[in-house]
Structure 1
């Protein structure tokens, strides 16, 4: 399987603007700029997109792990906070809460750790990955 996205950038790094389009067109010429990345501009930025990708990938991997252990989550909610410091992503912090009927805290915690270590986005990131997990 291959997926793609295209970035177009015009101008300088600080004054220029760009847009992003994904293969699915969920993003279709979505604006990004210096202000959306480093200030309060309207639009997206690469770190926000990495956060969305990591949260989504982790949640789906956790669901597969739970299913393999005989559990089905009613809901998994994952927030991902990406830290950009001195030009590098230095941390991806996953905050997950889940409602999973019949699961023990121990099995839940082990499943979260497995998903954190083994979702494809976690494997692709060269950064510190941390997490908080709450079983509802």
Structure 2
């Protein structure tokens, strides 16, 4: 056996070892792809109940939103009625109430000023008497 033949045998053995290692890797890769395929199939089968549950939930939410729209419309109508009532109250009673309040304020201010003036006159007379009595 010549050195060239020995090198060829070693190269052939290395090639066989390389083919075996690649075969093992390909076998494992094939099993991994089979498992991935099975997982995808199961996920597809289990997605139908999830989607039907989501559809039921969305239907329920839409029903509730319609109810909320009705409530909102009623609240809007109540707000409009209160606004109309407030403007009616302001138009019919607001003006006279403001006038009555202004009148009562003016009368109370006039009474206070007359009392102060009367007190000032009484104090002025008392001061004159005191001065006359001291002379």
TM bucket, shorter chain: under 0.3
Higher helix share: 2
TM-score normalised by length of structure 1? 0.23
The one of the two structures with greater contact order (alpha-carbon pairs below 8 A, sep at least 6) is 1
Q: Which has the larger radius of gyration?
A: 2
